[in-house]
Chains A and B, each alone.
Chain A
Amino acid sequence: MCGTRAVVVGAGIVGAACARELALAGFAVTVVDRGGAASATTAHGEGNILLSDKGPGPELELAKLSRQLWPQVLAEIADRSASGAESVRAVEWEPKGGIVVATTAGGARALARFAAGQRAAGVRAEHLDAGQLAAIEPLLTRDHQAAVYYPDDAQVQPAAAATALLADALTFRCELRTGCDVLGAVTRGGRLIGLRTSTGLLEAELFVNAAGPWAGEVAARLGAPIDVRPRRGDVLVTTPLPPTVFHKVYDADYVGAVSSDDGGLQTSAVVESTRAGSVLLGSSRRRVGFDDRLRPEVLAAVATKALRLFPVLATASVMRAYGGFRPYVPDHLPVVGADPRLAGLWHAGGHEGAGIGLSLGTAQLLRALVLGRPAPIDTAPFQADRPAVLGQTSTQEDS
């Protein structure tokens, strides 16, 4: 592949991971972003690398692959150079483990079933009794019915993670163009051979659409629309606190919210600390298009649920909130693969709130598909030619 040119559209975590894999494979890569690197969805999320929220199925397989890759990839980058090592330190990789807590009897039964299914699929999911839970999360409410510990859940500082991946790619044949907006396609014989951009024509043999929630718009500008939509999520950030929350702790409702088709407001508590001492409180999911307005009632609902898990946080001050747009396909599966209509165009995205965690596996699948090599897991469920991606489903959300 030496010298084959590839263009990656989007310098978020998925674009950065794909650029790195392609650069490692010998492509000459150009990453373009109309904003700055890692500044949109990537910079507005919590940095989740989770197995705990995924039931058995293709997404869990992708999550397991990615979880395995994270420490390996970070070690590779750190070993490459001193600046690589420094960029990896900023990533704040923390395999802190996750705890899912059910606060109702019904929730406890559902959680037990869910965890049993995950265990069967190879996920470590350990039931905690009240004493064990109190020992590892001493300030969590005692008012709970069941808890499951997922030792493999991890967290990174997402913008730093994307920056480290991108910086690593740039040590190979890779360049980054920011402030570069994709305007349209140049095709020859039904094949995409170039992008018209705000900073000029970009020619290549391979094009990867990793534009996150804007992937649908980019694809439409290239004449091959796909159905990727934004779903808004809001996160509250407290002032720095003494150690209060030691794992990623969430209520069992979260499991239902991720795959829900309900477009309205959903909240569930996700509570965790950052290395700087702040507690992050999520999360809400709303299908509101690209509406960036702050909605206090949404934040109030997030606060209410978080306090149910950690009543001790009632006097903690919230100093900021951030909201981001998570890209999703109506069937709630990522899309990784070649566009069925326009040769030369590939898609990598649609991970909703899981893009940070799934980015590395996604990039590896893309590399295997592009090179025509066997992939580590089945890629068929993520194909771009499925009806949901091509906008051929009419889901309840649309009505």
Chain B
Amino acid sequence: MTGRQVAVVGAGPAGLAAARAALGAGAEVTLIDAARQLGGQYHRTPPEEYAASRPEALQHGWPAFAKLRRELLGHPRCAWWPETSVWALERRDPGQQGPPRVHLLRGPADGSHRVRQILEPDALVLACGAHDRVLPFPGWELPGVFTAGAAQTLAKGERLMVGEQVVVAGSGPFLLPVAASLVEAGSRVLAVLEANPAAVLARGWSRKPWQLAAQLGKAGELIDFTGQLVRGRVPFRTGRTVIEARGAGRVEEVVTARLRPDWSVVRGSERTLAVDAVCVSHGFSPQLELPVAAGCALRGTPGAQFVQTDARQRTTADGVWAAGEITGIAGAPAARAEGAVAGWYAGGGSPAARALPALRRSRDQGRDFAARLARAHPIGAAWPGWLGPRTLVCRCEETDYATLCRAVQEQPGAAARTAKLATRAGLGPCQARVCGPTVTELAARLRGAAPDAVPADGLPAAGPHHRPFAQPIRLGELARPPEPPDAAPEHHGA
């Protein structure tokens, strides 16, 4: 036993693997997730109240997951904290070693009487995952337009079908299992539209996208029947996408159009389809507010950033490790391997451990996969061509494209923050989680080669992931003193 206290944030494949490895190294583990159940988005299962007799019916790799879940829940050194959100990370004083203090709220989502607690672990593993990235298009704010992830979460997690007549559009192998989820739930999927043309896909992949999907962990769960189901019943088209959603108060039809390889719209190729739901995903945005708050350096380009890690999954912040989709969108197998490496080192495990080389190989394969994924499913540079002046770029504040253009072009020397204050894009309740990467990208293009301002001392360069409050907290909760770490949350609700 190393006796090290390890906090793992996120109970998806990466976090679960990290928890197991840290336990294996001899550490005491606190596994934290905002959800009520282990598994994350990947192992999304129906709620306990459904008393499902065959929960494995929708799960890829159920036996392994069930075994891991039993192992963690029964482990004497593992504390599982469900319905727990990290609202802030507090970095230590200059000169002090160790990870940030972890400020938690425990209780029902967005409740008002959650228990405030603080953990001071010896090591922190961040495995926060990702959410769908959706590029704006006219009408994307209409009810009935869902992210692909939402449709799948509702189908698997609640057994809810989002619509009778559905179009799935965007880019990436994730579209197929989403379509399969919809078909399984009873929807008629009119088409799956992959924006990239077949030639681009083929450069990154083989010609059979459902085989690729099998490798992408995020999608893998439904793969056993995705192939037959989708091939049999659902038209899969490449080089076409949804460029507009229309309807009075909710989506009633979508306009699809053929795209060139750069995603410019081929005029005259528009078609209209009657739908009651449309599910869209153009890739994934890693949830980076906690790594940024912890002081972890990022890599990549603005709008497509990930946490920078070394071969041991260590970030640049002392005592903080990262695993899974926040380090790159590479699927569940890579996330598991990264999680295991991160958990092992965070738990104080020996670098000479026998399992490590195999884990590293698995992780490297995953990263190779991520690189292929990025090549096969790029976001075409000409996508803003389908935006109209009134198209919302920020859903919360209803900032339209014309307003953004005006603010960026007319403001003298406007820094990103000033433009944000002027347009309000990103200032609403989602705090730029949805529009941040898009607004950053659009503003950079409108500005031309942006002069990279020197950030002043003490003021972080305000990137799209800078959210000092990682989750909302109610003033009454903030004003109450924190409970000791061993206090159990009260149970509320009927």
Contacts and interface: CB of A to CB of B under 8 A. Distances in A.
Interface in B398-447: 410-418, 421-422, 424, 427-429, 431
Chain B interface, >50% SS class:
loop
A177 B411 CA distance: 13
A339 interface: no
B417 A179 contact: no
Contacts of A198: 454
Contacts of A177: 413
Given A35-B454, A314-B479, A160 B110 contact: no
A198 B454 CA distance: 10
Given A43-B418, A317-B472, A33 B429 contact: no
A166 to B, nearest CB: 6
Contact of A83 (B90, B410, B417): B410
Contact of A290 (B458, B473, B479): B458
Which of B89, B91, B479, B481 has the most A CB atoms < 10 Å from its CB? Answer: B479
A178 B415 contact: yes
A105 interface: no
B476 A315 contact: yes
B143 to A, nearest CB: 20
Contacts of A49: none
A93 to B, nearest CB: 15
Given A163-B412, A166-B412, A296-B90, A316 B474 contact: yes
A319 B475 contact: no
A163 B479 contact: no
A104 interface: no
Interface in B158-215: none
Interface stretch (A128-136, A187-195, A303-311, A366-374): A303-311
Interface in B450-471: 451-460, 462, 467-469
A344 B474 CA distance: 52
Interface in B380-398: 397
B66 interface: no
B103 interface: yes
Given A159-B422, A320-B431, A299 B451 contact: no
A292 B460 contact: yes
B295 to A, nearest CB: 9
A176 B478 contact: no
Given A34-B453, A36-B417, A166-B412, A294 B88 contact: yes
A224 interface: no
Contact of A239 (B94, B412, B453, B472): B472
B422 A36 contact: no
A320 B469 contact: yes
B453 A35 contact: yes
B479 A304 contact: yes
Contact of B413 (A37, A90, A160, A314): A37
B91 to A, nearest CB: 5
B356 interface: no
A315 B474 contact: yes
Contacts of A313: 475
Contacts of A139: none
A318 interface: yes
Contacts of A83: 410
A304 B478 CA distance: 8
A238 interface: yes
A39 interface: yes
Nearest to B406: A86
B90 to A, nearest CB: 6
A321 B468 contact: yes
Contacts of B455: 35
Given A293-B91, A294-B468, A318-B472, A36 B415 contact: yes
A219 interface: no
Contacts of A289: 458
B450 to A, nearest CB: 9
A230 interface: yes
Interface string A32-67: 011111111001100000000000000000000000
B421 A43 contact: yes
A319 B429 contact: yes
B114 to A, nearest CB: 12
B85 to A, nearest CB: 12
Contact of A39 (B428, B453, B457): B453
Chain A CB within 10 Å, residue with most, of B88, B397, B412, B418: B412
B293 interface: yes
B269 interface: no
B157 to A, nearest CB: 24
A2 interface: no
Contacts of B451: 178-179
Contacts of B429: 239-240, 319
B473 A318 contact: yes
Nearest to A289: B458
B101 to A, nearest CB: 8
Interface string A143-184: 000000000000001011001001100100000111101000
Given A83-B410, A166-B412, A314-B474, A37 B418 contact: yes
Nearest to A177: B413
B475 A303 contact: yes
B451 to A, nearest CB: 4
**Most B-side CB within 10 Å, residue of A40, A238, A240, A290:** A40
B97 interface: no
Nearest to A178: B413
Interface in B82-108: 88-91, 94, 103
Contact of A163 (B90, B91, B414, B476): B414
A40 B459 CA distance: 7
A291 interface: yes
Contacts of B89: 294
B2 interface: no
A36 B424 CA distance: 18
B112 interface: yes
A140 to B, nearest CB: 15
Interface string A315-348: 1111111100100000000000000000000000
A41 to B, nearest CB: 9
Contacts of B475: 236, 238, 281, 303, 306-307, 313-318
Contacts of B467: 320
Contacts of A176: 412-413
A291 B458 contact: yes
B479 to A, nearest CB: 4
Contact of B456 (A35, A90, A295, A306): A35
Contact of B474 (A293, A299, A317): A317
A353 B241 CA distance: 51
A243 B166 CA distance: 40
Given A35-B455, A178-B413, A317-B110, A276 B427 contact: yes
Question: By CB atoms of chain A within 10 A, which of B88, B416, B418, B456 has the most?
Answer: B456
Nearest to A290: B458
Given A36-B414, A43-B415, A160-B422, 19 more contacts: A35-B415, A37-B413, A39-B416, A39-B417, A39-B418, A159-B418, A176-B412, A236-B475, A239-B429, A276-B427, A292-B458, A294-B88, A306-B475, A314-B475, A315-B475, A317-B472, A317-B475, A318-B478, A319-B431
The 7 A-B residue pairs with the shortest CB-CB distance in the complex, in nearest-first order: A36-B415, A290-B458, A314-B476, A39-B415, A178-B413, A317-B472, A179-B451
23 contacts: A33-B453, A36-B416, A36-B418, A37-B415, A43-B415, A163-B412, A166-B412, A176-B413, A181-B454, A214-B456, A240-B429, A289-B458, A291-B458, A294-B88, A294-B90, A296-B478, A303-B476, A306-B475, A307-B475, A307-B476, A314-B476, A318-B473, A322-B468
Interface of A: 11, 33-40, 43-44, 83, 90, 157, 159-160, 163, 166-167, 170, 176-179, 181, 198, 214, 230, 236, 238-240, 276, 281, 289-296, 299-300, 303-304, 306-307, 313-322, 325
